[in-house]
Chains A and B, each alone.
Chain A
Amino acid sequence: MRISGRTATFCSVNKKMRDRSYSSSGEEEPLIRNQNKIISYGAQENCPSGGSTSINADPVILASSESQLPKGKYVLETVEHGSLNVISAKFESLDYDICENHLLLEEERTKGYKFIVKKNFARWFIFLLIGMLTALIACVIDITIEELSHIKYKSLKNYVDRCISENCLYIPYLIWVISNMIPVAIGSLLVAYVEPIAAGSGIPQVKCYLNGVKMPRVVRIKTLVVKVIGVISSVVGGLAVGKEGPMIHSGAVVAAGISQGKSSTFRRDLRIFKYFREDHEKRDFVSGGAAAGVAAAFGAPVGGVLFSLEEGASFWNQSLTWRIFFASIISTFTLNVVLSSYHGHPGDLSYAGLLNFGKFENISYDFFELPIFVIMGAIGGLLGSLFNHINYKLTVFRMRNIHARWMKVMEAVMVAAFSATLGFGMMYFLNDCKPLGQDPTSNPIQMYCGDGEYNAVAAIWFQTPEASVRSLFHDPPGSHKAVSVVVFFIFYFLLSCWTYGLSVSSGLFIPSLLTGAAWGRLVGSGMASILPSSGWVDPGKYALVGAAAQLGGVVRMTISLTVILIEATGNITFGLPLMLTLIMAKWTGDFFNEGIYDIHIQLSGVPLLPWEPPPLSYNMYASEVMSHPVVTLNTVESVRRIVHVLKSETFNGFPVVDPQGDVKMCQTFRGMILRSQLIVLLKNKIFNESAEIWNCKQPSIKMFRDEYPRYLTIQEVDVTEEEMKFTVDLRPFMNPSPYTVQHSASLPRVFRLFRALGLRHLAVVNDTNEVTGIVTRKDLARYRVWRHRGRMGLEHLAISEKI
């Protein structure tokens, strides 16, 4: 009875709240009355029999009377894995907002401007280190891959050459299959069993991290090791993958590691850079690391900065740009120093072999070619969205049916074996013989060609995918038969689509570029055969445009991809065609689906916040957006209650309110305290009753900083029964001035405040400064705009337990 009555009152209020002119304090009375539904553990202490709530009950169960499930946290529905419209509850936010408590102010007082200068200097120094170390890791990856692939393909070539005449082709075939399977098995075992987050390119994970989502284990040193070994083994294992994405992830890990001056994995604390031990600072370094990774992967420092800006960072400022650019340049420079001496040109930093995709000599284009580039861009968008769709279906299948780790390893190994089979089949059936004279290939294989000829298909397959891209860009016209390029394109497209999402470290850039270069070259040679007398048709040029279109269609990047390709080919005049192509590819692709990284982010249920709030949402108010019954703590709270709240709730931030004598009385909002802070307090036993013990130690901000970034869980904190009766004064530790919004604030307003400041908790208060709710990342991320075939709309996502 009581319940239905309340519903009626609130509904009427809701109706009024639609009209903004009504939002005077008088209209909010029912909302204030509703305060007694807020589950306040503090209230029960003073008034054990107050209301219908009881201390041990789950707050949500209380709200919904008798619950249907053993644990009232769930609704009856379940969702199958691989759903796009679900957010996983396991993802937490990072704390970008600095907690301005008394401890921080105290620390601030002890520091002078000298400290600021020192900190700024240290920041530059760290960016220098990030650039250098990222480049060195990239060198290790580069050189190892090159050496191992050289050995592999050299010996394979010898076997093929010998076995053609001796009729034992199954031997090189099996050797190829096994030499694919063994490295991939090693890499896949590492990824599946040691560090699953090292799977894939790592770009989506870094993007989520930089958006403010705590991706578990994404920037750990273990991840870095697995990533580096994993990418070496998958490229050497002949999969249709590249090393670029993993290099970007490696850069991010390096940045996060160096900036902290300690490693939890090795239990080493160098006692330096302590002032950078917070999410906010770490985020900036990770942006720089990702940029340095791109710079090292493609030799594209500007592209790195722009990549970090476009695809990575969600927070950006001017001085950061300059530092990130510094890290990128240092990274490219270090890489060039090492690689030029590796290639036998020590000290020659402008050595052309350092350009990733080789220098395009005198590439030129005419005005009338621009429409062709635009059309190619559209084709790239179509192919890219097809790629994304197939890969999406495949990923859903994998999420639903391939759970066991051994199955993931098995799948990867089978794809590796199949890649060898595909290559071998193409070499066997496509007798594309070219005379050896001009020798563009390092391991020419004769197969069934006459003496003095080599098999052009084998030449593409018997090298790393990156080298294949280079040959498609630069091989003279007529190096490949059209048929073999067509077959190669079709199969490589499908193979790379199949490969992405396996449990191996793998980048997507190179396979997409290779697929695109193949069809681009086809377009070029097709036009050359239609217009034989025209001098402007250069297959290499069209291969480049095709590669850009394909990659743009898959990942939907624009500015950074343009610049990366300009830098990796050392040709700035070709910027306009590349840009037109990429814009067209993005628009065409976006018509059908989203970029591959976004699809994967959505599938894994990460609550990523986009740049802009959903459109047409001014009629949604904070009171609808927020999570409603809020668990609050009193300014002086009993240990028993804190422990209980921490154990029974999954929240990470708790509003601190004035203790109330009476249930009906106001709970004025005083501040916000984080779970991690409470745990540190409990661990260090900062209790009022034992003040004489800890007071001499002077609790400082250092106590909290030392625990960062891995806090204990509440189960790991030891609190004795006697201590349960003690109390804690939260006031010196809480954030006394957290950001709040009025409950009548609109969704865009809430969103912008939350997004721009990178908040984790945003308290919603009413006119008398009482907490009515709290807005967290998931509350905002569950509004998602969808776009499909020119239509768009807003969908509400469900929140699931775990994916």
Chain B
Amino acid sequence: MSVILFYYQLYVIFRCSQDKIINGVESCKNRLECFASSTSNFTQCAIRHARPIRLCERCVGYYMDVLKAHEDILKAHDEGGHACKMELVNLDRLQVIEGAFNYVHNLWQRGQCNSCFVANDNGTLTPQLSNITTKFQQLYSDTQNCFNTFYNVTSKKYDPAICANCTDKYCSLNKYYEALKADTGEGIVCMDIVDAMNSTRTKWSKVLGCHIPEPKAEILLIISVVLTSIAPVIFYVAAKRYSGKAESRLLKQRRLSLQFNGPSASGS
């Protein structure tokens, strides 16, 4: 059953691409079919590669299909010369097509996936991985290979020697990532890379136990902390001790009652 379904999908994809070539004017129904299949392909792909995230790298083809199918719907006309846009989009409040497209588009954007790939001069996406990505993947697979060589399959444990031996590879990966982040700025690194790095780091610290930093007492630090903490106390004590009395004289108020009470007190 699933095999049949698979072939049907292949057929639809095939037909989509064939249609473009054979016939410039195609029915809007077919285009809708194209969009449906490409969206579902992308969604399947995205979910399959949700953990660990490889969404950008693996699903870029499907994503571009969705973009193309969507653009077709917006631009194309059917035999009668009606715009497909008028027949398919903006007719009801459910807005299935736009909703589906937005879901795909937002997912892609939130993952900053565009930055994984080379962009055309006009800014459109190409499925070609950028140099940065390939370099990172190279370093990443080096590190993973190194990890794997120290993995004991029978005891399902990592050899403790892993830390000493893989440090170079891990550090160069780490350094490359930091440099990448510094270059591109915060938050616009492709999600594949970010996730790969995060999981590697966690593995390095938590699973492999290679980097467990311990607070160390530094004598210089302690001295300077103590000094800055004591300084205010000394300052306030000294201020209290040596400051003169801050007083101001009270003014005699000119009151009618004082006119009579005051002189009688001092005068009599």
A interface vs B, CB < 8 Å? Answer: 3-4, 6-7, 10-11, 14, 34, 37, 59-60, 63-66, 68, 72-75, 77-82, 86, 88-89, 164-165, 167-170, 173-174, 177, 397, 399-403, 407, 410-411, 414-415, 417-418, 420-421, 424-425, 428, 431, 435-437, 439, 442, 446-453, 623-624, 626-629, 772-773, 782, 798-803
Contact = CB atoms under 8 A, between A and B. Distances in A.
Contact of B198 (A421, A437, A626, A800): A437
B92 interface: no
B247 A78 contact: yes
Contacts of B263: 3, 7, 63-65
Contacts of B240: 397, 401
B251 A89 contact: yes
A428 B206 CA distance: 20
A450 B248 contact: no
Given A4-B264, A169-B221, A628 B251 contact: no
A772 B213 CA distance: 83
A773 B256 contact: yes
Residue of A66, A415, A437 with most partner-chain B CB within 10 A: A437
Contact of A170 (B224, B244, B260): B224
Residue of B243, B248, B260 with most partner-chain A CB within 10 A: B248
A64 B246 CA distance: 28
Interface string B223-263: 01100110110011001100111111111111111111111
A627 B254 contact: yes
B214 interface: yes
B74 to A, nearest CB: 25
Given A167-B218, A436-B198, A628-B256, A451 B248 contact: no
A451 B247 CA distance: 60
A73 B224 contact: no
Contacts of B201: 436, 450-453
Given A410-B235, A453-B205, A7 B256 contact: no
Nearest to B215: A448
A628 B255 contact: yes
B215 to A, nearest CB: 5
Nearest to A59: B254
A450 B201 CA distance: 8
A786 B267 CA distance: 36
B258 to A, nearest CB: 7
B258 A73 contact: no
Contact of B213 (A7, A63, A448): A448
A411 B262 contact: no
A532 B115 CA distance: 39
Contacts of B225: 173, 421, 424-425
Interface in B175-204: 186-187, 195, 197-202, 204
Interface residues of B, number: 57
A414 B205 CA distance: 39
A800 B246 contact: no
B259 A629 contact: yes
A60 B254 CA distance: 7
Contact of A629 (B204, B239, B254): B254
B3 to A, nearest CB: 38
**Interface of A (DSSP majority class):** mixed
B110 interface: no
A68 B266 CA distance: 10
B191 to A, nearest CB: 11
8 contacts: A34-B259, A63-B258, A64-B262, A78-B248, A410-B235, A451-B204, A452-B204, A628-B255
B243 A402 contact: yes
Given A417-B231, A418-B228, A450 B212 contact: yes
A174 B228 CA distance: 10
A80 B246 contact: yes
B20 interface: no
Given A174-B224, A450-B211, A451-B201, A167 B250 contact: no
B255 A627 contact: yes
Contact of B248 (A81, A418, A447): A81
A66 B263 CA distance: 9
Contacts of B245: 80, 400
B124 interface: no
Interface in B92-144: none
Residue of A82, A164, A169 with most partner-chain B CB within 10 A: A169
A782 B255 CA distance: 13
A89 B253 CA distance: 11
A133 B256 CA distance: 50
B231 A414 contact: yes
A72 B4 CA distance: 112
B224 A177 contact: yes
Contact of B251 (A74, A411, A453): A74
A448 B217 CA distance: 13
A659 B262 CA distance: 29
B173 to A, nearest CB: 11
A14 B257 CA distance: 9
A420 B257 CA distance: 58
A800 B247 CA distance: 10
B216 A63 contact: no
Given A64-B266, A418-B232, A800 B251 contact: yes
B267 A3 contact: yes
Nearest to A165: B213
B153 interface: no
A683 to B, nearest CB: 29
Given A414-B235, A450-B202, A451-B211, A626 B256 contact: yes
B212 to A, nearest CB: 7
Given A400-B245, A450-B206, A627-B255, 12 more contacts: A78-B248, A78-B250, A79-B250, A401-B243, A407-B239, A418-B232, A437-B195, A446-B213, A453-B202, A628-B256, A800-B248, A801-B248
Q: Which 9 A-B pairs have the closest CB atoms?
A: A452-B201, A450-B205, A451-B201, A7-B260, A81-B246, A170-B220, A170-B221, A628-B256, A452-B202
A400 B243 contact: yes
A435 B264 contact: no
Contacts of A59: 254
A78 B204 CA distance: 72
Nearest to B221: A170
B235 A411 contact: yes
B154 interface: no
B95 to A, nearest CB: 21
A72 B254 contact: no
Residue of B216, B218, B244, B254 with most partner-chain A CB within 10 A: B254
B186 to A, nearest CB: 6
B23 interface: no
B155 interface: no
Contacts of B228: 177, 414, 417-418, 420-421
Contacts of A401: 236, 239-240, 243, 246
B221 A173 contact: yes
Residue of A6, A59, A174, A452 with most partner-chain B CB within 10 A: A452
A33 to B, nearest CB: 12
Contacts of B18: none
B143 to A, nearest CB: 12
B152 interface: no
A628 B259 contact: yes
B268 interface: yes
B247 A80 contact: yes
Contacts of B262: 63-64
B252 A74 contact: yes
Given A177-B224, A451-B204, A452-B198, A400 B246 contact: yes
B109 to A, nearest CB: 16
Given A65-B266, A170-B220, A410-B235, A439 B248 contact: no
Contact of B261 (A7, A165, A800): A7
Residue of B201, B251, B255 with most partner-chain A CB within 10 A: B251
B247 A798 contact: no
Contacts of A169: 218, 221
A7 B245 CA distance: 39
Nearest to A63: B259
